[in-house]
């Protein structure tokens, strides 16, 4: 049995050797129904501004100087709540959400239609697609966001190559995910507290993403292999945060 508390293997070796077991709301074995997606939206909206504030700040800091209408693409956008928060912070940006789940995209379209971008159009655009095959042209995006979905990709290396492909030279990937190196005792503690106050299902939702999560060192190595230069990498609690840039002007 693999020791999940041991240091990660080089170059993402654990990634290619491992079968992903959880896909959550982004398609695959555990794809949600429309009712489940709508229920998730109602829960997630509470406290959304505070939850997404760190990502929004990183996106603003990563934008090219002098670009008054940047293009931001959110990979695995789910119900589009990060995009809504980005709309508040970047009123003139072109925002695109990509997700493989048809049911989740329906929820995202509903969210987008509830607010306008300023010209009568929905707050953001949504497209069906996967991280391994992004529906976007080469060098067409100023910032790619990827929040808590990296562990759900079937092929993380292919997804990072796709992200590098759609980024303009000098543009950035802003990524947050669960930290695969998080000590298991911390997960058991969090799950135990959740189980007591919110039930067994809540405890499972906390621990399940870590089954396929990568350690920060692994993600840095994979970004490097995809041609993304990591300019920031942090651990915080059970999560990791990373900013990687495509080299260029």
- Quick check: helix, strand or coil at residue 47? coil
**Helical segments of 199-248, H only:** 200-207, 216-226
pLDDT of residue 211: 77
Max Cα distance, the chain (Å): 56
pLDDT of residue 197: 66
Supply the pLDDT for residue 10.
38
Low-confidence residues of the chain: pLDDT under 50: 1-30
Which helix H or strand E contains 111, and what residues bound it? helix 102-113
State residue 62's pLDDT score: 95
Say how far apart CA 35 and CA 40 lie, in whole Å: 9
Question: What residue ranges define each of the domains in the chain, with the CATH number in brackets?
Answer: 10-245 (3.40.50.150)
- The burial class, CB within 10 Å (0-12 / 13-18 / 19+), for 247 is exposed
The pLDDT value given to residue 222: 97
Look up the pTM and report it.
0.79
């Amino acid at each position: 049995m693999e020791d999940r508390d041991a240091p990660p293997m080089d170059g993402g070796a654990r990634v290619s050797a491992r079968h992903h077991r959880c896909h959550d709301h982004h398609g695959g074995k555990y794809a949600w129904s429309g009712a489940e997606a709508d229920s998730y939206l109602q829960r997630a909206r509470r406290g959304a501004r505070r939850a997404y504030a760190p990502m929004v700040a990183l996106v603003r800091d990563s934008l090219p100087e002098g670009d008054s209408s940047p293009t931001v693409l959110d990979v695995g956008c789910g119900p589009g709540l990060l995009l809504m928060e980005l709309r508040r912070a970047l009123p003139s940006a072109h925002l695109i959400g990509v997700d493989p789940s048809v049911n989740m995209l329906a929820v995202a379209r509903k969210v987008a239609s509830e607010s306008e971008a300023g010209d009568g159009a929905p707050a953001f655009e949504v497209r069906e697609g996967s991280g391994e095959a992004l529906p976007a042209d080469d060098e067409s995006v100023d910032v790619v966001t990827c929040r808590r979905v990296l562990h759900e990709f079937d092929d993380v290396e292919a997804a990072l190559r796709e992200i590098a492909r759609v980024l303009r030279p000098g543009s950035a990937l802003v990524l947050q995910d669960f930290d695969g190196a998080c000590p298991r005792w911390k997960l058991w503690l969090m799950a135990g507290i959740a189980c007591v106050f919110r039930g067994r299902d809540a405890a499972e939702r906390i621990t399940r993403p870590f089954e396929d999560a990568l350690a920060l060192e692994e993600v840095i190595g994979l970004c490097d292999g995809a041609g993304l230069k990591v300019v920031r990498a942090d651990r915080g609690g059970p999560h990791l945060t990373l900013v990687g840039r495509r080299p260029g002007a």
